[in-house]
């Protein structure tokens, strides 16, 4: 498929392809390339999870604790929050299947839950595992599983949803945000569906889903024209039956992988294939990635890199040496993407929302500092990351960390190292054109001084506005 | 850590492209010469202990040891008075340039920090999620003059709040010196038909323009308190009195989420706020801008009337806010807290929808019609002298 197409395919489906990866992909045809990406996905992470993630412990109620114990509990949660993000960023960097992580992140932004409300890092970790397990499986299975996920039950208040006192939050969001999209259901459908989900609760002692029959409203409900003594799973089946669901999800996938404005005919065709396949996510992806729109010249460099795209992608492409990744979690949070804590139930809006005067300058400064690190290896040039204040959702400012975690964080800052010479030497082509092809999805906006090479060239290319695009 | 040389502008060599976004149809309102300063009281200031209903027995019943003693209150009228730490604002009150608006809130109040401040910032209803701040919407409808350094500046924070979203040229000077350093990285050239790229280029142009036109090196005789808020207010005066012009400046003061041990914390914060605002006024008078400045405070919510068991207060609803400025009609607005009529959560009912404050700023201060911006009509308060 050639170098340009290979870079395009890899950067849209993964994070920051390296030159070697691009060259390998370039040898395949588009069909072969897409097939290989879809054949080698994962359902579990390669990175070992933090030790605390193996055991659920019912959290004590803050009011039952004395001041010291409360402080300790808070610090423990903050420490776990940093470790959780470190783990996921490490997985994005190290996984043999970046597409799996991209899809896990996509589903995290679709089936939103936030640590801000869920509180326990362990529950967010388990949800993340669930999303990864089904990320490239069947959408129907994913929907059923996520609806029972404890973090989701907490986030969308299903814990308070009981017979006689239905809480509509989950029913509303499952229709509006997870399946049909606005305009394809009415308020009455939500009210009725909410009754079907009553009793879908949580066992606080085990942290697992528990159906509480005495809280469940077993009466007859009418949703989207169908009547019956539906339970939650029945409602989900009804929602999956609607063509609107395939359309809604396919549209989101298009905007994730192809362009901001779907071609309606193409999209309708893909949505139909998706639905006909029984909601096989890989079928949708194959259609999208092989559609003419995906490869069209006018759809190159039209998507704005998310903070995670930018940070993880840059670390990957340049093979940057890192110790702990917690500083980068603070960085992406400061740029507007706090993993495990999207701002609200609609998720990160993305695209232009990522870029304002504050975030653009921060992005440029991150790149500027990274590519001076050659000259300032141990300097606190990366202190920019440490200055970030608390970001919510469990992430506190660095000066609020317990001493041990703070020390690890500070060490991680000094472990960041980009070996420019080694990286440049690993490239077969070091001229401006070759570097441009590797790093930018289209020609740079600003003129590159002729004769520029090495670090100077890297800086010029990464400071160009086009580097923010994929 | 080594500091780069402080570069306050990009110098004469920089080519500043004027943003081509202003079309003939979007006429800029002359009113933008009037400056709006928003002061966000982060965490939800406790209005009940700020403007104290000292004549209401129920206040003392609910607040117990948290109540401000009657004889310490700075009386505003026979019903309410200011927390004693706000002494620095009394001259403003006496000169009738301080307006106190009581009972500011909204229907179906949300008690989550994140959600409620989002509601205030986007002027939305509790069930809707809007992406654009109300000021960004205003500036998209009525564009401020292109020669302004920026539409709005956020000082001391990177959270754009009401200025977030497309439609506004905004820069955040979380650290003003760092902004000017960082701004060197922005490059002004280019345009494109790729909307994503065009957006990035527009933001770069905004940064370059702001950096070229703003300055913060004005010498002032006015003394400012030596704390975070005082420093931010000083920077605000230097900015306002300096060369570049903006329509909005946003600053914030944090720490108001007083769930425990409220008395000393709130005392300190209200003192910082009052002294900072008093110095701000003196500074603006020094640069001749006080008559063209309107300051409004806001916060995500007030706090619950009944004190909790940790000598603090929990999240509440309706709150009291302040308006100050050279052309403000000082006095009491809204309604004193109805402590006998609390809701099911023990929280106050609101009397003035927060969007009335916005409508007042939009219509009376800037001459911008508010109905589209606020997506509804809200009664304007008579806060401003013509």
Contact status of B108 with chain A (Cβ, < 8 Å): no
Provide residues of A within 8 Å CB-CB of chain B. 116, 260, 301-304, 334, 343-346, 349, 351-353, 355-362, 364-365, 368, 379-380, 383, 392, 442, 445-446, 463, 465-466, 468-469
Q: What are phi and psi of A204, to 5 degrees?
A: -65, -20
- Of all residues in chain A, what percent carry a pLDDT higher than 90? 71
Number of CB pairs, chain A paired with chain B, less than 8 A apart: 100
User: Which residue matches tokens 């992430």?
Assistant: A395
Q: How far is A51 from chain B (nearest CA, A)?
A: 31
Q: Does B10 score more than 60 pLDDT?
A: no
| CA closest to B155 among chain A residues | A358
- As a three-state string, the secondary structure of B254-320 is ECCCCCCCHHHHHHHHHHHHHHHHHHHHHHHHHCCCHHHEEEEEECCCCECCCCCCCCCCCECCCEE
| pLDDT at position A389 | 53
Residue of B nearest to A384 (CA): B178
First to last CA, chain B: 52
d(CA B350, CA B347): 9
CB-based contact (8 Å) between B12 and chain A? Answer: no
pLDDT of residue A429: 79
User: Best residue in B172, B175, B203, B248 to probe A by mutation, most A CBs within 10 Å?
Assistant: B203
Domains and CATH numbers, chain B: 35-374 (3.40.720)
Residue A5: phi and psi, rounded to 5, are: -65, -40
In this predicted structure, what is the pLDDT of residue A391? 61
Using the 8-state DSSP alphabet, how is residue A24 labeled? H
Task: Encode pLDDT of A420-437 as tens digits.
Answer: 889 999 999 778 899 999
Q: Return left, alpha or beta for A458; rule: phi > 0 is left, psi -120 to 50 is alpha, else beta.
A: alpha
Place of tokens 């190292």: A417
CB contact under 8 A, B197 and A466: yes
For residue A215, with 0-12 CB atoms within 10 Å meaning exposed, 13-18 middle and 19 or more buried, which class applies? middle
For chain A, the structural domain boundaries read 138-259+261-299, 307-468
Spell out which residues of chain A touch residue B158, defining contact as CB-CB under 8 Å.
334, 358-359, 362
Give the pLDDT confidence of A337-372 residue by residue, as tens digits: 999 999 888 999 999 999 988 899 889 988 988 887
DSSP A286-344: HHHHHSHHHH-GGGTT-SBPPHHHHHHHHHHHTT-B-S--HHHHHHHHHTT--TT--SS
Contacts A465 to B, Cβ<8 Å? 187, 190, 197, 200-201, 204
Residue B153 pairs in a beta bridge with: B171, B249
For B41-80, what is each residue's pLDDT tens digit? 999 999 999 999 999 999 999 999 999 999 999 999 999 9
Q: What is the pLDDT tens value at each position of chain A, 470 positions in all?
A: 999 999 999 999 999 999 999 999 999 999 999 999 999 999 999 999 999 999 998 888 877 888 888 888 888 999 999 999 999 999 999 999 999 999 999 999 999 999 988 999 999 999 999 999 999 999 999 999 999 999 999 998 888 788 887 888 899 999 999 999 988 999 999 999 999 999 999 999 999 999 999 999 999 999 999 999 999 999 999 999 999 999 999 999 999 999 999 999 999 999 999 999 999 999 999 999 999 999 999 999 999 999 999 999 999 999 998 888 998 998 999 899 999 999 888 999 999 999 988 899 889 988 988 887 555 444 444 554 544 555 666 777 777 788 888 888 888 877 888 888 899 999 997 788 999 999 999 999 988 888 888 888 999 999 999 999 99
Q: Is the pLDDT of residue B223 over 90?
A: yes
pLDDT in tens, B124-172: 998 888 889 999 999 999 999 989 999 999 998 778 899 988 778 898 8
Confidence band for B205, pLDDT divided at 50, 70 and 90:
confident
Task: Copy the structure tokens of residue B118.
Answer: 């989002």
* Closest B-chain CA to A358: B172
- Best interface-test mutation with B: which of A357, A366, A378, A443 has the largest number of B CBs within 10 A? A357
The whole-model pTM stands at 0.84
| Alpha carbon separation from A151 to A45, A160, A174, B334, B379 (Å, rounded) | 19, 14, 15, 42, 42
Q: What percent of chain B has pLDDT over 90?
A: 70
Residue B50 carries which DSSP code?
A: T
Q: For chain A, state the CA radius of gyration.
A: 23
Is-contact B327 B361, C-beta < 8 A?
no
Give B31-48 pLDDT, tens digit per residue. Answer: 999 999 999 999 999 999
pLDDT, tens only, B322-336: 999 999 999 999 999
> Tokens 């549209």 correspond to what residue?
A251
């Amino acid at each position: 498929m050639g170098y340009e197409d290979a870079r395009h395919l890899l950067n849209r489906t993964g994070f920051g392809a390296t030159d070697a990866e691009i060259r390998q992909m370039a040898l395949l045809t588009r069909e072969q390339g897409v097939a290989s990406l879809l054949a080698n996905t994962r359902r579990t992470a390669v990175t070992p999870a933090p030790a605390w993630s193996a055991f659920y412990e019912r959290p004590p109620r803050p009011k039952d604790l004395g001041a010291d114990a409360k402080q300790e509990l808070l610090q423990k949660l903050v420490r776990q929050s940093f470790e959780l993000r470190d783990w996921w960023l490490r997985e994005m960097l190290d996984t043999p299947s970046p597409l799996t992580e991209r899809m896990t992140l996509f589903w995290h932004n679709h089936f939103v839950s936030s640590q801000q409300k869920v509180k326990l890092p362990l529950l967010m970790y388990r949800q993340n595992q669930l999303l990864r397990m089904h990320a490239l499986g069947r959408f129907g299975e994913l929907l059923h599983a996520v609806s029972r996920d404890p973090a989701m039950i907490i986030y969308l208040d299903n814990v308070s949803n009981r017979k006689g006192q239905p809480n509509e939050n989950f029913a509303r969001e499952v229709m509006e945000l997870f399946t049909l999209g606005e305009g394809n259901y009415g308020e009455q459908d939500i009210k009725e569906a909410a009754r079907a989900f009553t009793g879908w609760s949580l066992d606080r002692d085990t942290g697992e889903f528990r159906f509480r029959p005495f809280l469940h409203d077993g009466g007859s409900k009418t949703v989207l024209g169908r009547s019956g003594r539906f339970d939650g799973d029945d409602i989900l089946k009804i929602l999956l039956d609607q063509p609107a669901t395939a359309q809604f999800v396919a549209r989101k996938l298009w905007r994730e992988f192809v362009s901001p404005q779907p071609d309606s005919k193409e999209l309708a065709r893909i949505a139909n294939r998706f639905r006909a396949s029984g909601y096989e996510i890989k079928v949708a992806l194959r259609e999208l990635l092989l559609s003419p729109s995906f490869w069209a010249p006018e759809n190159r460099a039209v998507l704005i890199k998310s903070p995670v795209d930018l940070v993880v992608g840059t670390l990957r492409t340049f093979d940057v040496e890192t110790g702990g990744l917690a500083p980068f979690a603070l960085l992406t949070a400061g740029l507007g993407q706090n993993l495990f804590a999207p701002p609200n139930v609609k998720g990160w809006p993305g695209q232009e929302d990522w870029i304002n005067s504050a975030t653009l300058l921060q992005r440029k400064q991150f790149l500027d500092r990274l590519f001076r690190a050659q000259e300032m290896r141990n300097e606190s040039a990366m202190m920019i990351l440490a200055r970030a204040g608390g970001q919510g959702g469990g992430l506190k400012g660095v000066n609020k960390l317990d001493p041990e975690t703070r020390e690890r964080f500070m060490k991680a800052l000094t472990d960041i190292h980009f070996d420019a010479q080694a990286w440049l030497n690993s490239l077969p082509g070091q001229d401006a054109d070759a570097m441009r092809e590797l790093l930018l999805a289209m020609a740079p906006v600003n003129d590159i001084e002729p004769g520029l090479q090495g670090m100077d060239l890297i800086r010029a290319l990464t400071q160009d506005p086009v580097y923010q695009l994929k | 850590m080594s500091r780069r040389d402080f570069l306050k502008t990009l110098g004469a060599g920089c080519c500043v492209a004027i943003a081509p976004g202003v079309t003939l149809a979007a006429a800029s309102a002359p009113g933008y010469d009037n400056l709006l300063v928003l002061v966000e009281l982060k965490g939800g200031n406790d209005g009940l202990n700020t403007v104290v209903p000292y004549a209401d027995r129920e206040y003392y019943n609910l607040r117990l040891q948290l109540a401000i003693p009657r004889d310490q209150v700075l009386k505003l009228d026979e019903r309410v008075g200011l927390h004693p730490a706000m002494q620095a604002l009394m001259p403003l009150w006496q000169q009738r340039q301080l307006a106190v608006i009581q009972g500011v809130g909204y229907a179906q109040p949300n008690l989550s920090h994140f959600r409620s401040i989002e509601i205030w910032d986007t002027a939305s209803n509790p069930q809707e999620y809007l992406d654009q701040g109300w000021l960004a919407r205003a500036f998209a409808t009525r564009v401020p003059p292109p020669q302004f350094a920026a539409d709005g500046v956020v000082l001391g924070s990177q959270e754009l709040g009401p200025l977030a979203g497309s439609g506004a040229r905004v820069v955040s000077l979380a650290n003003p010196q760092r902004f000017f350093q960082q701004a060197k990285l922005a490059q002004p050239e280019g345009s494109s038909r790729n909307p994503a790229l065009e957006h990035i280029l527009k933001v770069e142009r905004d940064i370059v323009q702001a950096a070229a036109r703003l300055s913060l090196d004005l010498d002032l005789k006015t003394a400012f308190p030596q704390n975070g808020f005082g420093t931010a207010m000083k920077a605000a005066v230097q900015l306002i009195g300096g060369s570049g012009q903006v329509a909005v400046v946003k600053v914030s003061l944090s720490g108001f989420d007083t769930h425990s041990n409220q008395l000393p914390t709130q005392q300190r914060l209200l003192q910082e706020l009052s002294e900072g605002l008093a110095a701000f006024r003196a500074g603006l008078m020094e640069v001749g801008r006080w008559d063209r400045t309107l300051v409004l405070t806001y916060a995500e919510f007030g706090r619950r009337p009944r004190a909790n068991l940790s000598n603090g207060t929990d999240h509440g609803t309706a709150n009291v806010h302040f308006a100050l400025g050279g052309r403000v009609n000082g006095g009491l607005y809204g309604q004193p807290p109805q402590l006998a009529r609390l809701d099911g959560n023990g929280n106050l009912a609101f009397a003035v929808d927060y969007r009335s404050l916005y409508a007042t700023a939009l219509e009376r201060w800037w001459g911008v019609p508010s109905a589209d911006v606020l997506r509804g009509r809200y009664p304007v308060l008579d806060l401003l002298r013509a």
